[in-house]
Structure 1
Amino acid sequence: MNMTNRIRLYSGLILFAFVASHLTNHALGIISVTAMDAGREVFLFVWRSWVGTAVLVLALVAHTLTVARSAYRRRTWRGLSITDIIQYVTGIAIPPLVVFHVLANRGLHELYGLEDTYPWVLMALWHFDPWTGLQQAILVVITWVHGCVGIHMWLRLKSFYAPLVPTAYTAALLLLVLSLVGFVNGGQEVAALTKDPVWMAAYVEATALPPEASAWVYATRDIAWTGMIAALVLFGAVRGSHYLFERRKGLIVVHYPEDRRIAVEPGVTVLEASRRAGIPHASICGGRGRCSTCRVKIVEGREDLPPMEASERRVLRRIGAPDGVRLACQLQPNQTLSVIPLLPQPTPMREAFADPGYAQGAERRIAVLFADLRAFTKFAEAKLPYDVVFVMNQYCRYMGEAVEANGGRLDKFIGDGVMALFGIDSDAETGARQALETARSMSIALEQMNEALKGDLLHPMKLGIGIHLGDVIVGEMGYRNVVSFTAIGDAVNIASRLEKANKTFGTQLVFSRAVADAAGLTMDQDTARTIEIPGRDRPVRAHVLNSGQNLPETTKAKA
């Protein structure tokens, strides 16, 4: 997150705290107007002190300027999410609605010494000017929605936030409803007091203002509205002039896969270019440089790119991105370039968190394990579909737990087969020991499963396991929503062939000599075999065991 975004976030949090405390004060109206005024004393102690006022004003100015800067730098309004639209619409609606409230309360207090107590405010909004009271109620809703959406957009990239969403949503909605109920209840209480002539006389005396006070509020409000309109018109004129100036400097071309391209002005971010061209491009954080989901691989033009800012470098370092990967929302090319978006659109929220760099493609020396049930097709032919699915789910659970318990990574289930990877996050030696220990666990788990399902099985299930260690390419591969982390390479093919060799030897486990050496495992020579692999010039030296439970205990001790 760059400095501008940090200022925008922190100033927004201060304003959110102000609004939340204000709504809490309103909610006290459920008790009484007296309770509202008691809460008001605490509210004023914090926010009407010189420190609180300075912090509030600075936050308001900083938030306004940073949002204006962000809007000014935006080259296209296409591709906005519904949350972005809500933020912009409510953000524009707040200033004209809030200016009257500020002038009639803080303004009259500072200039004319008015004690803007809740009876005075509620009297004005319920008795003298109900239309303005309705506007202020609408202002409360709009302001709270704006703040809550902003908080959501910030926290949704935090891993701890997802489980808290229902609670946070309920709390936010409850505070809004309670504040409105308190406002209504307080207004009704004050409206009832107007029938008491003694109370009315005291109220008029306490809130008496010179005639010019009311005129000042409305005149100043009109001036502020005029200034806001002028500022919006000026903003649009300056931005339009800037756009025309950029167009005259010449266009650059951003190339995408499938021969798609878009001509844009220099300085337009790649993400904005994608949106302008209608090209799907993931961006969970909305282009704020927080989530990394918009990252692209630079195919051509890398040498002419502007250097990364510290915020972009920090995000890419967090996910371990390789050279040649940039954040599309931060990259503002000045020359023609070619890019490939690395994540599909739409992108699941989990992609917003720090993924390991090897997910984008890396070479690893790992252990690959294949396991496959024997004669499962015959079993399926003799059973009802429900029974087949039930047994398969039990098998997947037992085998999956064995893999995960030993530090492996489940790659996929292929019918009645399992593929698992070991050593991706560690080293080949650790991976080899984990894979062998998983073979032992699978053998034990198979016996447990056979015992648990003996009433559903005609014969005990049998398993074949093959393990090999070698160099592979790992990464997330697939198409659109069917994307998974997997490995490809000769080692994967060999592991699969070793698993099938169990049928030849009538055994349960076959693992290569490379696995045994990496795990530091000493095997008896009578278990050694040489296995021919189709399409490979040299055979693979391996060891065969009737059961994974026959592995030497030293394997478990070293794992």
Structure 2
Amino acid sequence: MTPQRLIGTTRLVTGLILFAYVLSHDLNHALGLISLSALETGRHIFIAFWQFPPIRYAFYLSILLHMLIALRALFLRRNLRMPPGDFFQLTLGLALPPLLALHVLGTAVANLTFGVDPDYEYVVWSIWVAQPHYGLLQTAALLVAWIHGCIGLRSWLHLKDGYARWRDALYAAALIVPILSLLGFASAGRAVAELASSPGWVSTMLAAAKLPDAAGVARLYAWLNAALIGYVIALALVLIARLLRIWLRRRRAIEIRYADGHTVTVQPGTTVLEASRIGGVPHAAVCGGRGRCSTCRIKVISGAEHLPPANDDESKLLARIGAAPGTRLACQTRPIGPVAVAPLLPPMAAPRAALGHSVQHHGQEREIAVLFADLRGFTRFAEHRLPYDVVFLLNRYFRAMGEAVNASGGRVDKFIGDGVMALFGLTGTPQEACRQAVDAAARMSINLDQLNLLFDQDLKQPLRIGIGIHVGTVIVGEMGFAGAQALTAIGDTVNTASRLENATKEFDCQLLLSSEVAALAGLRLDDLTPHDIPLRGRSKNVMAYAFDDARTLKAEGLKGKTPRPDAAPGLAPVESS
């Protein structure tokens, strides 16, 4: 395990231990809604668990390590610009020690040093009745600790599979737990205030608490002041050390250039993600720059020789998403010389983008099968229909064609007017791609017949389609802009498939299949003669087979029987519009 991985794991484990402590403490407070005795019974269970020696030492060690890791992270930051979530988590975490110092000294330390028995009657009386301003301080500490822990827990969980299913429940719990805790504390406070009005109750309660004498109290406050001063000094030393390191490295500044024209000057060893934040360059980082996602990934345009090799964790993550050569994680890449980079995801990338994509999303040549299908005469049909009827029928048609493509293992690329473009073989072989495309054409024909049966009363003439399929090398990648960016394919193969589909009008057939597709799909077409088809924009003609009914391919050319039209998958009878 690398040192960085070890530190990250330690941070997570210690954070979970501390969050478990805060959660159990808050749930204990909630018992105040029942009664003071229930609150005290819960305290005995709480103490029995957390004071069990192995758990107690693990808890104390977690406090120390978590604080040291936080100070180390503050020291290592090249700048203090960070996303709002990171800022709040860091600020709330740094605010916790001074907020909790008095409570810890007055309970745990006083118990170990002077034998004080801080039961809930004493604690609630002291901060609800005797010194209410301390009650406000402890309320703030409770909320700060809870919010800090919830932010950390979300940053760990929101990239996990299944988080979306549990997100609403987790958010509800994050809201309900502190509310119940504060209500339980308020209920206990009112009960203690009522008891305190009884003659002699306060003196009896204080005697049972075994409070230290005046000298002991003075020692506790002296320790409190020393702890606060020491904490401030530690923070100041960390900040001074940061400034000293920046001053020492200033003369070795390097430039990081971005594809959009931005240039940021930083010190060697600054990550590219930190450079983006220093220079105000929008840069996605769903996990907050902790190397647990890939949304900050960049393409190294130049200066690769100035980058240290990727560590094991970065290499594994890039391999997992099938990253193209020259791709690095911005949060893990620390240039030692000038480089030029281009972020690969939009700044507001969603968590799903953290899982990465297959290689073709970055742009890649690949041999695939492309299918185009288009409705015949639909424009004339739409002229005499209400807009709602047209949209309703088109959506049913798109659903039927899309289900045919999906069932065959293809991907619907886009719907163009009343046409469909589909891709096959993005992850398989050209042979598989062609078999899938042929199967999709047969399923489309079957599903179209089913549609015609459903809308028999509304259609003067049955719906007809033309389908063209071709196979060849295309460029596959994510193309578009902002929210309109999507995986698609471009190239001569796409144009050829589209023109084959258009040529079905001339041949008055349902399907035109290029001879390359037929050969790779292994179709037995010895009885058919291919047509030599000239296509606009191509210097060479295309040899293609014409089929009046694409359903015959499923019976003759592929394994399996042709399903009955009334058994098309995924289509349920509906009332016609």
TM-score by structure 2 length?
A: 0.93
- Aligned residue in 1 for 2:388: 386
SS state at 1:510 partner: strand
CA distance in 2, matches of 1:154, 1:76: 23
Alignment of 1:125-524 (within 5 A): 125-197=127-199, 199-211=201-213, 212-248=215-251, 250-524=252-526
- Aligned residue in 2 for 1:68: 71
Structure 1 ranges of 4+ moved more than 6 A: none
- Pairing partner for 2:80 from 69, 77, 81: 77
- Pairing partner for 1:28 from 31, 51, 56: 31
Q: Is the 8 A contact 1:433 1:555 kept in 2?
A: no
- Aligned residue in 2 for 1:557: 559
CA distance in 2, matches of 1:269, 1:242: 15
Residue 554 (structure 1) shift: 5.4
SS state at 1:504 partner: helix
CA distance in 1, matches of 2:348, 2:276: 14
Residue 556 (structure 1) shift: 4.4
CA distance in 1, matches of 2:364, 2:46: 56
SS state at 2:531 partner: strand
- Pairing partner for 2:94 from 92, 95, 105: 92
- Pairing partner for 1:56 from 53, 56, 59: 59
Residue 201 (structure 1) shift: 4.4
SS state at 2:356 partner: coil
- Structure 1 residues 267, 110: closer, same or farther in 2, change over 3 A? same
Per mean C-alpha deviation after superposition, the further-off stretch among 68-77 and 338-347 is 68-77
- Aligned residue in 2 for 1:12: 15
Alignment of 1:103-122 (within 5 A): 103-122=105-124
- Structure 1 residues 64, 201: closer, same or farther in 2, change over 3 A? closer
Alignment of 1:519-538 (within 5 A): 519-538=521-540
1:76 partner amino acid: N
Q: Is the 8 A contact 1:528 1:543 kept in 2?
A: yes
The RMSD of aligned alpha carbons is 1.8
1:20 partner amino acid: L
For 1:459-507, what per-residue CA distance to the aligned partner results, in whole angstroms no more than 9, with x for missing partners?
2211111111112221111122211001122211111111111111101
Residue 5 (structure 1) shift: 1.9
Stretches of structure 2 that go unaligned for 5 or more consecutive residues are 562-577
Q: Is the 8 A contact 1:467 1:515 kept in 2?
A: yes
CA distance in 2, matches of 1:456, 1:142: 65
1:544 partner amino acid: A
TM-score by structure 1 length?
A: 0.96
SS state at 1:551 partner: helix
- Structure 1 residues 544, 131: closer, same or farther in 2, change over 3 A? same
CA distance in 2, matches of 1:67, 1:458: 73
Residue 152 (structure 1) shift: 1.1
Per mean C-alpha deviation after superposition, the further-off stretch among 361-370 and 439-448 is 361-370
2:125 partner amino acid: M
Q: Is the 8 A contact 1:437 1:555 kept in 2?
A: no
- Structure 1 residues 199, 94: closer, same or farther in 2, change over 3 A? same
Q: Is the 8 A contact 2:258 2:341 kept in 1?
A: yes
Q: Is the 8 A contact 2:523 2:558 kept in 1?
A: no
Per mean C-alpha deviation after superposition, the further-off stretch among 439-448 and 270-279 is 270-279
CA distance in 1, matches of 2:70, 2:522: 61
1:528 partner amino acid: P
SS state at 1:526 partner: coil
Q: Is the 8 A contact 1:159 1:353 kept in 2?
A: no
- Structure 1 residues 168, 258: closer, same or farther in 2, change over 3 A? closer
Q: Is the 8 A contact 1:345 1:480 kept in 2?
A: no
Per mean C-alpha deviation after superposition, the further-off stretch among 325-334 and 264-273 is 264-273
For 1:493-548, what per-residue CA distance to the aligned partner results, in whole angstroms no more than 9, with x for missing partners?
11111111111110111111221222211114335222223333332221111111
- Structure 1 residues 329, 555: closer, same or farther in 2, change over 3 A? farther
SS state at 1:273 partner: helix
CA distance in 1, matches of 2:459, 2:220: 85
Q: Is the 8 A contact 1:508 1:546 kept in 2?
A: yes
Residue 208 (structure 1) shift: 2.8
Residue 104 (structure 1) shift: 0.7
Q: Is the 8 A contact 1:321 1:357 kept in 2?
A: yes
- Structure 1 residues 558, 15: closer, same or farther in 2, change over 3 A? farther
Q: Is the 8 A contact 1:262 1:277 kept in 2?
A: yes
CA distance in 2, matches of 1:539, 1:73: 64
State how many pairs are aligned: 557
Residue 197 (structure 1) shift: 3.4
CA distance in 2, matches of 1:350, 1:358: 17
- Aligned residue in 1 for 2:564: none
Q: Is the 8 A contact 1:366 1:421 kept in 2?
A: yes
Q: Is the 8 A contact 1:527 1:545 kept in 2?
A: no
- Aligned residue in 1 for 2:567: none
Residue 555 (structure 1) shift: 4.6
CA distance in 2, matches of 1:373, 1:60: 68
Q: Is the 8 A contact 1:433 1:558 kept in 2?
A: no
Residue 28 (structure 1) shift: 0.9
SS state at 2:282 partner: coil
For 1:226-261, what per-residue CA distance to the aligned partner results, in whole angstroms no more than 9, with x for missing partners?
11211222111111111111102x221111114332
Q: Is the 8 A contact 2:414 2:422 kept in 1?
A: yes
Alignment of 1:535-550 (within 5 A): 535-550=537-552
CA distance in 2, matches of 1:169, 1:552: 51
Residue 126 (structure 1) shift: 1.4
